[in-house]
Amino acid sequence: MAEPRPEDVRELTDEELAAIEEKYDEGAATRSVTPRFALLLRYVALTFAVYHYLTAGFALPPDYWHMGWHLSGLFILTYSFYPLVKTKTAFDLKTGALRLGGVPYLDILLMGMGVCAALYLGLAWRGIEWLGVEEMTFRMGNPNGWDMLFGCVLIVLVLDIARRTLGWILPAIISLFICYALFGPVFPGLLQHPGVKFNTFVSSMYFPQEGIFGVTLWVVSTIVFHFVLFGVIAQRTGLGQLFIDNATILAGRYTGGPAKVSVVSSAFFGTISGSSVANTVSTGALTIPNMKRLGYPGHFAGGVEAAASAGGQITPPIMGAAAFIMAEFLELPYTTIVIAAIFPALLHYVGVFAVVHLMARKLGLQGLGAEALPRLGAVWRDGWANIVPLVGLLVVLFSGYTPYMSAFCGISLAIVAGMSRLREPLTLIYALAFSAFVVWKYLGGGFDLTMSIILIGGAAVATLNPQIRISLPQMADTFETGVKYALAVGAASAAVGIVIGVINTTGVGFRIGFMVTQAASNLGSDIAWLFTVGDWVLFSVEDLTLFISLVFIALACILMGAGVPTTALYIMLVSVAQPALAQLGVPPIASHMFVLYYGVVAEITPPVCTSAYAAAAIANSNPFRTGISAFTLGLGKVIAPMAFVYAPVLLFVSSTGFDLWEFTYTAASCIAGVIALSAAVVGYWLAPMGAVFRWLMAIAGLVFIAPSLQADLVALVIAAPAVITQVIARRAGHAVA
């Protein structure tokens, strides 16, 4: 595909951007329905959103009811919005005798069955005497006929809504786990097990604590949905634009300005959005055309945005759904996960930033002119109030309150910032309502005096917002959009619960983990002689076993990540990685962060890299070539997670403890490795770099990642010829061939 000339580049309209997001974001494209049915679904979506919003602030019902209501909403909206099979015309409005409001009666029937199966658990928890259903205590592990009926219905329909929103790959993998549970005796070797009886399997998948009503659905219904909703509302009220404007002011004037704006704004935007595609479309709409006008090739411009946006799921403080699930798995406060993610996120953006800078130097690209930069005073004079909700959310979160209470306060302050204006007294009802809630919590001992003053003060300050007020219908549209964004992650969380149930029931995670470590140990023993000279051993068998195990798990993450959402991928692989790495002495948080990081890398790894394809549509470039660019931009990040395992101090909160000097040295070594790899990828550091020196820098970059003085000295020796020739070439003012 020929690249358009920079002067021909235009910015896409909101409609074109929405179409791109619908095409590449798994859950963005929805079926057209009749106006009346659309109004009904709007009320359902708003009820769904308001229910979650209010229960986060006031009180959560029992888990089985709460997750049942959440699943009911998922079934109603998913079967209404997503067709049985995705074709070019499947999303068009179709009416007829076999449809209700444009939705086939088959989908209406499945919707009703799903709602019944989701709510039956709550209805039958205390028993249903007239149906002969005993209390749950007596049925656990010994389901009756009704349990079997609704359990089977729920398992099948959960897989179906995951397939409709996310495609075939995830349900196919989960189906393999189901087969493994039921047909254990037919599997070979260490994987063989006696098999799980069908009624025991259904009981495990259906009853709470494990399976579908397990930790993943609980986290999504109780925490993740609220943060998705907050991100959508905050973006609608102007926080996203505030980030982009400030990123432009910070980085726009420097070499390769628009590309650096893309990196910085994506880092900022990652604080309010855990969606890579949404991040790509939101920030790429501005940054990609600007990069192309400056002279970057379209595929590279798209790759920059995709690689930078993929970091949203590992960027504190609001990370993707996987981070909340990690907190539950590790039984740690979410704030601990946030702190642990600081350096991984920093390393992610250092890698992308380094490639962007070196590519700009190589192409001779300058920054934006002063006339193209926003004015700092004007940006903050107009948008300062939009930061109040984020500050409020973070204050509550880091003060030890639950994540859903912090999300409730953040959403409430975002509503106040968007809809309450001091100059329009009637609109102050939103600020007064939130202030009354804070006072009620204070009187009941829920908030201390300092927190109450901060939140009420934030609500009062937000009413001074100088921007145009958002109307109630506009805010309702925003709530509805937030619900649609949450459907895919909700379906994935319910379906992946089956995987957790199978792992807990069969112990397959430990079996596979043992197989991984055994294979790595055997391979390490076979090649140990390569690293031994007499009595001097460079790498012991134990060192090689750990390294090879990490490589196996990393490859599994990247290969399985083709089309599997990061959250689902993380849950499936951490069940294997944790037992394997625990046997090798790796702290739990390091192994979990390792898998999460590679789950994010998988999002920009061809052939399936939706963020890169969305960026390619904005850049009007070849999608596969854009995916390759995104992957090469992230090449430094591919090996960086190894450092977290070898040096858990980089995660601040590891059980191995924190030492400032060790952290500083190891962090500097990792950053040096990422920069060396970036120079190798671009073929430029101080001057153009020949193929031999690029290979030397690449090898040195890999060795730098190993956190030891011995490894760093070896890396310096390897890199020395390339560095010396670069310095000489720079001083001489000519390129080295």
Whether the pLDDT of residue 2 is over 60: the answer is no
- Domain borders along the chain are 16-176, 665-737
Task: Give the tokens for residue 60.
Answer: 């959560």
DSSP 578-620: HHHHHHTT--HHHHHHHHHHHHHHHTTSTTS-HHHHHHHHHHT
pLDDT attached to residue 548: 86
Query: Cis omega (within 30 of 0) on the bond before 317?
Result: yes
Q: Are strands 532-533 and 103-104 parallel, antiparallel or unpaired?
A: unpaired
Lowest-confidence region among 93-107, 190-204, 295-309, 663-677: 295-309
Would you place residue 341 in the very low, low, confident or very high pLDDT band (cuts 50, 70, 90)? Answer: confident
Q: What's the pLDDT tens digit per position in 688-731?
A: 888 888 888 888 888 887 777 778 888 888 888 888 888 888 88
164-173, 217-226, 403-412, 572-581: which is most confident: 403-412
Q: What's the pLDDT tens digit per position in 545-555?
A: 888 888 888 88
Closest C-alpha to 337, from 398, 387, 388? 398
Would you place residue 737 in the very low, low, confident or very high pLDDT band (cuts 50, 70, 90)? Answer: very low
Q: Which residue has the higher pLDDT, 138 or 494?
A: 494
Whether the pLDDT of residue 27 is over 60: the answer is no
Mean of the per-residue pLDDT values for the chain? 83
Whether the pLDDT of residue 112 is over 90: the answer is yes
pLDDT attached to residue 14: 60
pLDDT attached to residue 11: 60
CB neighbours (10 Å) of residue 141?
10
List residues bridging with 133 in a β-sheet.
128
Residue with tokens 């927190």: 451
Q: Which residue has the higher pLDDT, 118 or 320?
A: 118
Whether the pLDDT of residue 735 is over 50: the answer is no
Q: Which residue has the higher pLDDT, 116 or 268?
A: 116
**Percent over 70 (pLDDT), the chain:** 92
Answer yes or no: are the C-beta atoms of 206 and 121 closer than 8 Å: yes
Q: Which residue has the higher pLDDT, 275 or 39?
A: 39
Query: Cis omega (within 30 of 0) on the bond before 4?
Result: no
Answer yes or no: are the C-beta atoms of 566 and 600 closer than 8 Å: yes
CA distance 321 to 568: 9
pLDDT attached to residue 23: 61
Whether the pLDDT of residue 296 is over 70: the answer is yes
> What residues have CB less than 8 Å from 420, skipping those under 6 apart?
427, 428, 429, 430, 431, 459, 462, 463, 465, 469
Whether the pLDDT of residue 660 is over 50: the answer is yes
Task: Give the tokens for residue 472.
Answer: 């109630």
> What residues have CB less than 8 Å from 658, skipping those under 6 apart?
649, 652
Lowest-confidence region among 152-166, 380-394, 658-672: 658-672
CA distance 145 to 95: 38
Whether the pLDDT of residue 256 is over 50: the answer is yes
pTM (predicted TM-score): 0.85
90-94, 245-249, 252-256: which is most confident: 245-249
Whether the pLDDT of residue 181 is over 50: the answer is yes
Whether the pLDDT of residue 155 is over 90: the answer is yes
Q: Which region, left, alpha or beta, applies to residue 558 given φ > 0 means left and ψ of -120 to 50 means alpha?
A: alpha
**Percent over 90 (pLDDT), the chain:** 19
Task: Give me the half-sphere count of Cα atoms (radius 13 Å) on the Cβ side of residue 516.
Answer: 28
CA distance 114 to 103: 16
CA distance 469 to 485: 24
pLDDT attached to residue 337: 87
pLDDT attached to residue 31: 84
Q: What's the pLDDT tens digit per position in 72-109?
A: 999 999 999 988 887 777 777 888 778 888 899 999 99
